Amino acid sequence: MKVIANDWINHLSPYEAGKPISELAREFGLQEENIIKLASNENPLGFSELAKQAISSELAEIARYPDGAAFALKQALVEHLSAHQINASQITLGNGSNDILDLIARIFLRPGTNAIFSAHAFIVYKLATITAGAEAREVAAQNYAHDLTAIIKTIDINTKVIFLANPNNPTGTCFTQRELQSFLAQIPAHILVVLDEAYFEYADPKLATNGMQLVHQYPNLVVVRTFSKAYGLAGLRVGYAVAHPEITNLLNKARQPFNVNSLAQIAAVYALKDQDFIKNGITLNHKGMQQIIAGIAKLDLDYLPSQGNFLAIKFAQDTSQINLELLRRGVIVRPIAGYQMPEFLRVSIGTEAENQQFLQTLTAIL
Ligand SMILES: *Cc1c(COP(=O)(O)O)cnc(C)c1O
């Protein structure tokens, strides 16, 4: 079967997800309640109570197919984004924003074409590009951040898509709205620019971008956001793209008819109504970020300043041994050797108690 598979699939390495708590408990004979997971940038506060109640009342409807057009969720997003006058005809929903990244690759890429993204950028860009049989052009980063000038220089006649993550995962680095505007002004109109703002809610608006302000001006811009991070709905899988109606039509043709399930749709509608939950999460994240930065400073460890809900911490050597010692003690973080950053560990910001447990365990190991 390997012989008949598309050759480029044989060369792919599967996505390495954060280790689930249950798996670590099985592997190391630990109690689940003693384990903390700071490995997938999930929300330590869980998710909105309003969304929880909405899910409960929707349970009775599970025998029915979801609304394939997701009318209510699109309306809720139109309202949420009203400052930018986004129309429902510009919104595509995905089974997580990864679904949308994959759709974009399937629609715009094929063998003989290429997509460009930064080194150390979110790995799904590479996976989606290679799965579509296209060439993945990784551009060297500058201090781990996207080098937008170098990305422009990498464009050639076969370039169809540019993926940007802002803030980027796993580095937490950011470019500004001004830098984005100058970048977009230099990109030919026939190249699609995908701006992934998965951590938009956490970032300082003065340092990061708001792509929604630019979709009317640039018909080749797709802004992608998710309910998995600040909204705490990672397990339900729901994300969205905002773009010109022509791009939206293409995405709509190629997506699976019922790609967002009914519980995810209703949860997202109510999660959007609960902006207090988002505010609390952002406050907790800022405090937790300071707590972890102060803690690792005592250990003389360096880090990349982050605009997300995670921090890439730099060690003197390859971190696989430190990671193993953390796992043994019930602390799951994310090694990022797969991002060519073998001397880093990425830790998601947790509750104050989780951050403290991480810092104490790390101190004991070092
Ligand atoms: C977590 C993350 C996503 C979100 O993925 P979902 O499929 O929506 O859960 C997208 N982009 C980046 C850069 C991320 O870190």
Give percent of the chain above pLDDT 90.
98
Q: What would the two tokens of residue 235 be?
A: 């397990």
Helix (H, G, I), strand (E, B) or coil at 302: strand
What letter does residue 236 receive in the DSSP assignment? T
Q: What would the two tokens of residue 122 be?
A: 């979110």
Among protein residues, the one whose CA lies closest to atom 2 of ligand 1:
198
Q: Which residues fall within 8 angstroms of residue 229, CB to CB, at 6 or more apart?
A: 41, 42, 43, 198, 199, 201, 202, 308, 309
Distance 240 CA to ligand 1 centre (A): 11
- Give pLDDT tens digits for 248-298: 999 999 999 999 999 999 999 999 999 999 999 999 999 999 999 999 999
Distance 327 CA to ligand 1 centre (A): 24
Distance 365 CA to ligand 1 centre (A): 31
Amino acid 218: pLDDT: 98
Amino acid 14: pLDDT: 86
What letter does residue 18 receive in the DSSP assignment? P
Distance 128 CA to ligand 1 centre (A): 13
d(CA 108, CA 247): 10
Amino acid 11: pLDDT: 86
Amino acid 82: pLDDT: 98
Distance 4 CA to ligand 1 centre (A): 31
**What ligand 1 atom has the least distance to the C-alpha of 97?**
8
Among protein residues, the one whose CA lies closest to atom 15 of ligand 1:
169
Residues lining ligand 1, Cβ inside 6 A: 41, 96-98, 122, 165, 169, 196, 198, 226, 228-229, 234, 239
Cβ atoms of residues 121 and 150 within 8 Å: no
Among protein residues, the one whose CA lies closest to atom 1 of ligand 1:
198
- Residue ranges of the chain whose pLDDT lies below 70: none
- Give pLDDT tens digits for 68-102: 999 999 999 999 999 999 999 999 999 999 999 99
